[in-house]
Chains A and B, each alone.
Chain A
């Protein structure tokens, strides 16, 4: 029973969205940096999930 890759990609999209909301709504520069870290992690997750499949 393997989890479909699409779920990981969807989770990555949700995390990226949360990071984007954080970047757009936070006012402090440090918290904006933390949201950018969240976005970077989302992209990392997408890359790893995509790297696990070969089409």
Chain B
């Protein structure tokens, strides 16, 4: 995904990545998360990304290549250092522990039911806070995307009516673009 220049190809590789992660969730005894990962991420979010990519046509050359010339190797070096540090931390912190057996007790009666039981009792307040956050984001998107309708004065309406009465054909869609 990082090395491919075409944006659509990068999105398709990201879909492959999401499916692999879904399989890992299945291996970790989380089948509900597996289904959600496939439906929401690989389905909805990536369709949204592909739609926007194909609508806007983002792969437009490399105009600012010189500006990012130093940043690219620096990013790789910093990321490699970060992942080495992370490996050392994981080895020191977790070691080679395997799963605890009480996961299977927690999943008793189905993983989806267990998730619902915990989500709607113990973690109900964070769930509601998340829903309020989503509502705020939706309202903000609507406010930001809302364009003010052009105000039409009565004089313009009268002028248009006068043109119609004079026999001129109104041309629709001609004056839309400023």
- Chain A residues in the interface with B (C-beta under 8 A): 2-6, 8-11, 13-18, 20-22, 24-28, 30-31, 33-35, 37-38, 41, 44-45, 48-49, 52-55
Contacts and interface: CB of A to CB of B under 8 A. Distances in A.
A17 B2 CA distance: 11
Interface of B: 1-2, 7, 10-11, 14, 17-18, 21, 24-25, 27-30, 33, 41, 45, 49, 52-53, 56, 58, 62, 64, 68, 71-72, 74-76, 78-80, 82-83, 86-87, 90-91, 94-100, 102-103
B90 A52 contact: no
Contacts of A44: 21, 33
A5 B82 contact: no
B23 to A, nearest CB: 11
B75 A8 contact: no
Interface SS of chain A: helix
A13 B98 contact: no
Contact of B30 (A17, A48, A53): A48
28 contacts: A2-B98, A3-B98, A4-B98, A5-B97, A6-B94, A6-B97, A10-B86, A10-B90, A11-B24, A13-B90, A17-B82, A20-B79, A20-B82, A24-B74, A24-B75, A25-B71, A27-B62, A28-B7, A28-B58, A30-B53, A30-B56, A33-B49, A38-B1, A45-B21, A48-B28, A48-B30, A52-B29, A52-B103
